[in-house]
Amino acid sequence: MENTPTNPEKFEYKLVEIKEKGLFLTKLKREDIENQLNFHGDAGWELASSFATDLDSNGKKELVLIFKRKILTP
């Protein structure tokens, strides 16, 4: 299937939030991140972008993963 103006590729997107757990300062666990990446990769999702944000003034962080996958049309 050729990518032309009359038949452009289409994608769907998904955001996954991974939050630090616990009452005190904790770190995002590498294993949790890898599990999310592999889980969504197995379902056909590709990591398009990611960013970290502060959840609160106590220093807790949240990692946001943005996945995309091509929508297959006949």
Let me know how many helices (H) and strands (E) the chain has, helices first: 1, 3
Work out how many domains the chain is built from and give that number: 1
Q: What confidence tier does 73 reach under pLDDT thresholds 50, 70, 90?
A: confident
Residue 50 confidence (pLDDT) = 96
The answer to whether residue 7 is domain-embedded is no
Beta strands in 3-73, from DSSP E residues, in sequence order: 11-19, 46-54, 61-70
The answer to whether residue 63 is domain-embedded is yes
Q: CB within 8 A of 63, min separation 6: which ones?
A: 17, 18, 19, 28, 33, 50, 51, 52
pTM for this one?
0.77
pLDDT per position as a tens digit, 19-52: 887 666 567 788 989 999 999 999 999 999 999 9
- For residue 13, give the DSSP letter: E
The answer to whether residue 21 is domain-embedded is yes
Q: CB within 8 A of 32, min separation 6: which ones?
A: 18
Residue 66, pLDDT above cutoff 90: yes
- Domain assignment of residue 28, given as a range: 13-70
The answer to whether residue 48 is domain-embedded is yes
